[in-house]
């Protein structure tokens, strides 16, 4: 069985022109992760999907029912984006797709062919953390940290939308991201600090 | 989720052709409800036909009669924040922004919003009988835990509610749904689009297989001066309504010239009672008038074991929301109760 999974995964990931290599990590991932679904017959062919993830072109071959979230985590090996409920109720899987924050669990990888995606892995500038990452640390805006990548991507999306004027607006427009540790007040504090700085500038 | 094939539609004709020729093919646009239901194995499809790349159905256009045409493929967020909607149909904007989360509103489309399925617990629990999920199997909600269920327009087969906020405003605004299908195009007044459960609760609306919503027209009258959307729920945001109310008023020196009141969270479709709106004509815009109208609207409401509170809640919500419509600027984010 292991051999089949291995072959399948090797088959379904490619190097892109810029030399970004995701093959090795996928290969090693086999030891630790549940295998991705096998192609069980010839009826359903994998489709080639090109995603511009964190400014790198990545080509994946995925079956139609692979969610964007699973595409990112299991195929592109970008596990910063978290799977919480997998049903659009928690916001942990929030990524920025073509400039808009979306939940990656309720869309399919094949539907996002050609899209620009930013995940939590893509927001720092080299070793310089994104202002929201710094503010989250500063304000102790997490306990377990599971919701944090989604919270931060969602907050980036919210600021780009430019609709939140007040703290009440921020709370309302961040309600799609749940924090079960109850760090919500600190999360809003962190976002408000960055938002106020940005508004000031 | 069952295995399925995926294809992109080039245009509306192509989409209709691809779905109508296969009994278990479905359109997918935003996917926020369909993919969720497929993950639970509550909906199955042999093929998903992606209509997102069909051109000409994303924009909001002005109609010659002064109304607007909302492209079915525009997202809920783009619609709610569109300058023409904010200025001329703020009720619609408020209602959309009261629904789901910012992320989901960035994905969900206008057409798809109309096609949401109920969030009845039993519909979602495949281990229980549900006439909507499996016709003839029975309704678990009628004698079950029915706190969130309907009080108006119910039947012995189903007491599920329709979950949309956007549609409550569209009902109040007398929207028209434009549809394309294998036999050509047709338009349905909003009131005729969704169905009451009757003995066919598996049918949420009057769309036939292979038919697709192409746009939604809203007439000129937007009630931009006196409007309000109130949504009451178990948490302040990101929850479905127990009761919601959309109100649009046209006033002249404190006297009501025209009133529109639609309820959400209480029925299988957005609930409007013409008699109550007629009653309000030429009455003073006062809590007493609105309370009398509320009594007319809730006439015939049938409570179940755990949701009788909804009748009183709906009446109070109507009065509160109509009073809020007199001062729309006091509204809070998320359609919460305000002054």
**Which of A40, A86, A94 faces B103 most closely, judged by CB atoms?**
A94
Q: What is the pLDDT of residue B339?
A: 62
Residues from chain B contacting residue A191 (CB–CB below 8 Å): none
Helix ranges, A13-90 (H): 23-29, 68-70
Whether residue B101 and residue A102 make contact (CB cut-off 8 A), yes or no, is: no
Residues from chain A contacting residue B3 (CB–CB below 8 Å): 40, 43-44, 63-65
- Give the predicted TM-score (pTM) of the model: 0.92
Chain A: closest CA distance from residue B322 (Å): 23
Write down the residue that tokens 């281990």 correspond to.
Answer: B127
Whether residue A106 and residue B28 make contact (CB cut-off 8 A), yes or no, is: no
In contact, B218 and B224? CB cutoff 8 Å: no
Q: What is the pLDDT of residue B333?
A: 86
Architecture of domain A131-200: Orthogonal Bundle (1.10)
Nearest CA in chain B to A109: B6
Pairing of strands B255-264, B271-272: antiparallel
Q: What is the pLDDT of residue A16?
A: 36
DSSP state of A87: S
In contact, B104 and B29? CB cutoff 8 Å: no
Write down the residue that tokens 């377990």 correspond to.
Answer: A144
**Which of B52, B100, B106 faces A111 most closely, judged by CB atoms?**
B52
Residues from chain B contacting residue A107 (CB–CB below 8 Å): 30-32, 35, 107
Question: Phi, psi (5° rounding) for residue A189?
Answer: -55, -50
Residue B191's contacts (CB-CB under 8 Å, 6 or more residues apart) are B171, B272
Where does residue A98 fall: left (phi above 0), alpha (psi -120 to 50 degrees), or beta otherwise? left
B324 touches chain A (CB under 8 A): no
Nearest CA in chain B to A38: B3
Chosen CATH of A2-81+107-120 out of 3.10.20.30, 3.20.20.60, 3.30.450.40, 3.30.450.20: 3.10.20.30
Whether residue A43 and residue B3 make contact (CB cut-off 8 A), yes or no, is: yes
Give the residue among B33, B261, B244 at the shortest CA–CA distance from B148.
B244
Whether residue A107 and residue B101 make contact (CB cut-off 8 A), yes or no, is: no
Tell me the pLDDT of chain A (201 aa) as tens digits. Answer: 334 443 344 334 333 333 333 443 444 344 334 445 555 556 788 999 999 999 999 999 999 999 999 999 999 999 999 999 999 999 999 999 999 999 999 999 999 999 999 999 999 999 999 999 999 999 999 999 999 999 999 999 999 999 999 999 999 999 999 999 999 999 999 999 999 998 887
Vertex B134 angle, CA B130 and B136, to 5°: 80
State which H helix or E strand residue A198 sits in: helix A184-200
Chain B: closest CA distance from residue A172 (Å): 6
Whether residue B35 and residue A106 make contact (CB cut-off 8 A), yes or no, is: yes
pLDDT for residue B143 is more than 60: yes
CA–CA gap between residue A155 and residue A149 (Å, rounded): 10
CA–CA gap between residue B290 and residue B285 (Å, rounded): 7
For CA atoms A47, B78, A188, A131, give the dihedral sign. Answer: positive
The ranges assigned to domains in chain A are 2-81+107-120, 131-200
CA distances from B119 to A46, A108, A145, B142, B264 (A): 33, 22, 30, 15, 13
**Which of A154, A169, A176 faces B333 most closely, judged by CB atoms?**
A169
First-to-last alpha carbon distance for chain A, in angstroms, is: 57
B48 touches chain A (CB under 8 A): yes
Average pLDDT of chain B?
97
Q: What is the pLDDT of residue A183?
A: 97
Helix ranges, chain B (H): 12-20, 34-39, 76-80, 83-88, 90-97, 102-107, 110-114, 121-124, 166-172, 190-193, 274-280, 287-297, 309-326
Share of chain B above pLDDT 90, in %: 97
pLDDT for residue B222 is more than 70: yes
Residues from chain A contacting residue B100 (CB–CB below 8 Å): 176
Question: Hey, what domains does chain B have and what are their CATH numbers?
Answer: 5-52 (3.30.43.10), 227-330 (3.30.390.50)
Residues B152-181 have pLDDT tens digits of: 999 999 999 999 999 999 999 999 999 999
Joined tokens for residue B201: 């609760």
For CA atoms B323, B329, B330, B331, give the dihedral sign. Answer: positive
Q: What is the pLDDT of residue B338?
A: 83
Helix ranges, B81-238 (H): 83-88, 90-97, 102-107, 110-114, 121-124, 166-172, 190-193
Q: What is the pLDDT of residue A201?
A: 76
């Amino acid at each position: 069985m292991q051999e089949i999974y291995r072959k399948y995964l090797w088959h379904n990931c490619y190097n892109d022109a810029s030399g970004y290599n995701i093959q090795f990590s996928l290969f090693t991932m086999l030891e630790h992760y549940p295998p991705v679904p096998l192609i069980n017959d010839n009826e359903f062919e994998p489709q080639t999907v090109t995603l511009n993830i964190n400014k790198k072109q990545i080509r994946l071959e995925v079956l139609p029912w692979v969610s964007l979230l699973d595409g990112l985590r299991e195929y592109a090996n970008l596990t910063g984006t978290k799977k919480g409920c997998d049903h659009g109720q928690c916001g942990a899987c929030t990524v920025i797709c073509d400039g808009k924050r979306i939940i990656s669990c309720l869309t399919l990888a094949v539907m996002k062919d050609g899209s620009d995606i930013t995940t939590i892995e893509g927001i720092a500038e080299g070793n310089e953390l994104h202002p929201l990452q710094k503010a989250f640390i500063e304000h102790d805006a997490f306990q377990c940290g599971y919701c944090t990548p989604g919270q931060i991507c969602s907050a980036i999306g919210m600021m780009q939308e430019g609709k939140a004027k007040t703290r009440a607006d921020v709370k309302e427009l961040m309600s799609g991201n749940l924090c079960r540790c109850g760090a919500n007040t600190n999360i809003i504090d962190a976002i408000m600090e960055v938002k106020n700085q940005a508004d000031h500038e | 989720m069952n295995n399925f094939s995926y294809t992109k539609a080039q245009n509306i004709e192509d989409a209709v052709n691809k779905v109508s020729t296969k009994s278990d093919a479905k359109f997918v646009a935003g996917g926020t409800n369909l993919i969720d239901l497929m993950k639970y194995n509550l909906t199955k499809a042999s093929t998903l036909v992606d209509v997102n790349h069909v051109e000409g159905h994303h924009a909001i256009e002005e109609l010659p009669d002064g109304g607007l045409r909302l492209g079915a493929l525009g997202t809920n967020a783009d619609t709610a924040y569109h300058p023409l909607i904010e200025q001329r149909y703020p009720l619609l904007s408020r209602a959309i922004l009261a629904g789901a989360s910012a992320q989901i509103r960035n994905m969900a489309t206008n057409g798809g919003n109309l096609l949401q399925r109920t969030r009845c617990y039993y519909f979602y629990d495949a281990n229980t009988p549900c006439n909507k999920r499996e016709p003839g199997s029975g309704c678990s909600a009628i004698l079950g835990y029915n706190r969130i269920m309907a009080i108006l327009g119910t039947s012995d087969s189903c007491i599920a509610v329709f979950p949309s906020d956007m549609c409550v405003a569209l009902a109040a605004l007398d929207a028209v749904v434009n549809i394309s299908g294998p036999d050509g195009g047709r338009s349905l007044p909003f009131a005729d689009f969704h169905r009451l459960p009757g003995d066919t609760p598996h049918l949420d609306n009057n769309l036939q297989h292979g038919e697709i919503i192409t746009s939604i027209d809203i007439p000129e009258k937007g009630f931009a001066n006196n409007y309000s959307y109130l949504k009451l729920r178990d948490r302040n945001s990101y929850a479905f309504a127990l009761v919601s109310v959309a109100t649009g008023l046209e006033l002249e020196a404190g006297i009501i010239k025209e009133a529109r009141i639609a309820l959400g969270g209480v029925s299988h479709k957005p609930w409007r009672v013409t008699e109550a709106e007629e009653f309000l004509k030429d009455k003073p815009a006062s809590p007493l008038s609105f309370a009398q109208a509320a009594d007319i609207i809730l006439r015939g409401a049938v409570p179940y074991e755990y949701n009788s509170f909804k009748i009183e809640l709906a009446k109070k919500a109507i009065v509160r929301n109509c009073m809020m419509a007199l001062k729309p600027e006091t509204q809070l984010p998320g359609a919460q109760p305000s002054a």
